[in-house]
């Protein structure tokens, strides 16, 4: 059953929803990345909530003009206009008043949403049953998705992706270093607005599938997920698109095969699943990698300290040190050094002495700054320099038994 959903064999509506959700996931992931890199992820929250009054006003206009009020293009246009107004309000509050961006986001979000709710109650009193389509914009509704709806989502998503591709370089520069971008003569403020405009476009396109509250998740989570896997911005963008698209596709398939599983929330949860996996298992930035890194570091410190103790003929009491030395073949279980251990211990002690010379010498100041008790001296000095230091220290001494 699940396999059939994945291969789009579960009927017309399920196929439309799956394709729409995948496209939406890709464009939201890609667009959201720039927002995330600019450290303004929560702006999307303000934008998405600000769509509500526009949807309601557009609905009222459409009804007033004699339509049934459920024309998707009209509703989306209304939502785009009010989201844009909200965006401008937020920008104005941040730039022209003393409010910080988070307060501006919260103010726009709550006021626009509150006003939208007032309008929703007005619509409820206009005519019974007519508002049924609008509640779907809060949490998304895919049950009655039409071919035309899917087409709008596809075209909107593709157009957004194209725009991102065109202005991705200036957006990347602004995201990483706005001052540098300004010095380069880039219109930072306008690029920011363009970035927000793209986020708004994705939000508007996604209203139908996941609803205005959960579209925020599709903008933020894939970008954060992708950031775990790479340090290059172009790869983050691509991975975020991939993660978003996969989440949309799997989420749509899951909701198609399970009763009572609304599409929007399940897409968000699948997306969070990817995030949790990345948080735990990503190489480099993941939790598991960090734990391994820590263990490796701990091991190096113990072996180094153990070798120094061996070289100075001190007894080792720390069981972990003993175990590590024994496993590396440097000492026997009772703490007596093997031949290999004696050699390495002598070298460790000599290196420590070499470092001491370097750190006492002003001429080696830059090198001395690299001293952390673990670094091999050969990695920072040439053979000639080491030989020079050795001349100052004198010949090797015997390791005490």
Partner 1 sequence: MSGEDFVPLSLTPLLIGTFAAIACALPGNFLVLRKQALIGDAISHVVLPGIVVAFILTGTISTWPMMLGAAGAAIVSVVMIEAIRRLGQIEPGAAMGVVFTTMFAGGVLLLEQTDTSSVHLDVEHALYGNLESLIWLDAVGWSSLLDLTALAGLPPELPRIALTLVGVILFIWVFWRPLKISTFDEGFAQTIGIRTGALGMALVIVAAISAVASFDAVGSIIVIAMFICPPAAARMMTNGLEAQIAWSVVFAGASAVSGYVLAGYGPLWLGAADAVSAAGMIATMSGLILAIAALWGPYRTRTGAPQEA
What is the rounded CA–CA span in Å between residue 74 and residue 184? 40
Residues that bind partner 1 (CB under 8 A): 36, 39-42, 44-45, 93, 96-100, 102-103, 105-107, 109-122, 125, 135, 138-139, 213-214, 216-217, 220-221, 223-224, 227-228, 260-262, 264-266, 268-269, 272, 275, 279, 285, 287, 290
Cβ closest to partner 1, residue 96 vs residue 383: 96
Cβ closest to partner 1, residue 107 vs residue 328: 107
Smallest gap from residue 193 Cβ to partner 1 (A): 17
Cβ closest to partner 1, residue 128 vs residue 401: 128
- Tally the residues of the chain: 401
Nearest one of 284, 279, 329 to 303, comparing CA atoms: 329
Neighbours of 45 (CB within 10 A): 21
User: Cα dist. 356→361, 372, 373, 396 in Å?
Assistant: 9, 12, 11, 16
Smallest gap from residue 114 Cβ to partner 1 (A): 2
Neighbours of 331 (CB within 10 A): 27
Q: How far is Cα of residue 208 from the mean position of the Cα atoms in its chain?
A: 25
Cβ closest to partner 1, residue 151 vs residue 287: 287
User: Cα dist. 152→100, 143, 149, 215, 376 in Å?
Assistant: 36, 16, 5, 17, 61
As given in the structure block, the two tokens for residue 22 are: 């995948």
Contacts of 329 (CB under 8 A, 6+ apart): 338, 340, 341
Smallest gap from residue 203 Cβ to partner 1 (A): 13
Angle, vertex CA 23, rays to CA 19 and CA 24, nearest 5 = 115
As given in the structure block, the two tokens for residue 284 are: 């480099």
Smallest gap from residue 280 Cβ to partner 1 (A): 9
Cβ closest to partner 1, residue 139 vs residue 186: 139
Cβ closest to partner 1, residue 40 vs residue 364: 40
Q: How far is Cα of residue 37 from the mean position of the Cα atoms in its chain?
A: 8
In contact, 205 and 24? CB cutoff 8 Å? yes
Smallest gap from residue 10 Cβ to partner 1 (A): 20
Angle, vertex CA 23, rays to CA 191 and CA 206, nearest 5 = 70
Smallest gap from residue 107 Cβ to partner 1 (A): 5
Residue showing tokens 């948080």: 279
Smallest gap from residue 260 Cβ to partner 1 (A): 5
Neighbours of 108 (CB within 10 A): 26
Smallest gap from residue 290 Cβ to partner 1 (A): 8
| Secondary structure (3-state) at 369 | coil
Cβ closest to partner 1, residue 114 vs residue 373: 114
Smallest gap from residue 316 Cβ to partner 1 (A): 34
Cβ closest to partner 1, residue 78 vs residue 265: 265
Cβ closest to partner 1, residue 121 vs residue 184: 121
Neighbours of 7 (CB within 10 A): 11
């Amino acid at each position: 059953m699940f396999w059939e959903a994945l291969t789009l064999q579960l009927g017309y509506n399920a196929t439309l929803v799956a394709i729409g959700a995948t496209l939406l996931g890709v464009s939201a992931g890609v667009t959201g990345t720039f927002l995330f890199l600019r450290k303004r992820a929560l702006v999307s929250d303000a934008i998405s909530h600000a769509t509500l009054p526009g949807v309601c006003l557009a609905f009222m206009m459409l009804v007033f003009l004699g339509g049934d009020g459920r024309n998707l293009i009209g509703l989306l246009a209304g939502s785009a206009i009010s989201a844009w107004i909200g965006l401008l309000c937020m920008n104005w509050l941040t730039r022209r008043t003393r409010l910080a961006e988070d307060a501006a986001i919260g103010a726009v979000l709550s006021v626009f949403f509150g006003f939208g709710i007032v309008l929703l109650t007005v619509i409820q009193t206009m005519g019974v049953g007519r508002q049924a389509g609008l509640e779907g914009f809060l949490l998304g509704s895919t049950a009655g998705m039409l071919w035309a709806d899917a087409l709008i989502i596809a075209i909107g998503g593709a157009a957004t992706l194209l725009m991102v591709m065109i202005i991705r370089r200036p957006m990347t520069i602004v995201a990483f270093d706005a001052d540098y971008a300004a010095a380069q003569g880039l219109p930072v403020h306008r690029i920011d607005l363009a970035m927000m405009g793209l986020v708004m476009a994705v939000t508007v396109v996604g209203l139908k599938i996941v609803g205005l509250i959960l579209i925020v998740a599709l903008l933020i989570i894939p970008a954060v997920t992708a950031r775990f896997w790479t340090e290059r911005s172009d790869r983050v963008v691509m991975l975020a698109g991939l993660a978003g698209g996969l989440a949309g596709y799997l989420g749509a398939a899951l909701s198609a095969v399970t009763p009572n599983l609304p599409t929007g929330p399940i897409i968000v949860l699948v997306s969070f699943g990817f995030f949790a996996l990345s948080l735990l298992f990503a190489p480099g930035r993941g939790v598991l990698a960090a734990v391994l890194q820590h263990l490796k570091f701990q091991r190096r410190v113990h072996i180094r300290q153990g070798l120094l103790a061996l070289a100075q003929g001190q007894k080792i009491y720390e069981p972990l040190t003993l175990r590590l030395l024994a496993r590396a073949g440097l000492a026997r279980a009772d703490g007596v050094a093997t031949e290999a251990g004696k050699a390495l211990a002598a070298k460790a002690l000599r290196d420590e002495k070499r470092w001491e010379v370097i750190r006492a010498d002003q001429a080696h100041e830059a090198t001395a700054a690299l001293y952390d008790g673990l670094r091999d001296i050969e990695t920072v000095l040439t053979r000639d320099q080491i030989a020079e230091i050795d001349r100052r220290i004198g010949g090797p001494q015997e390791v005490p038994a």
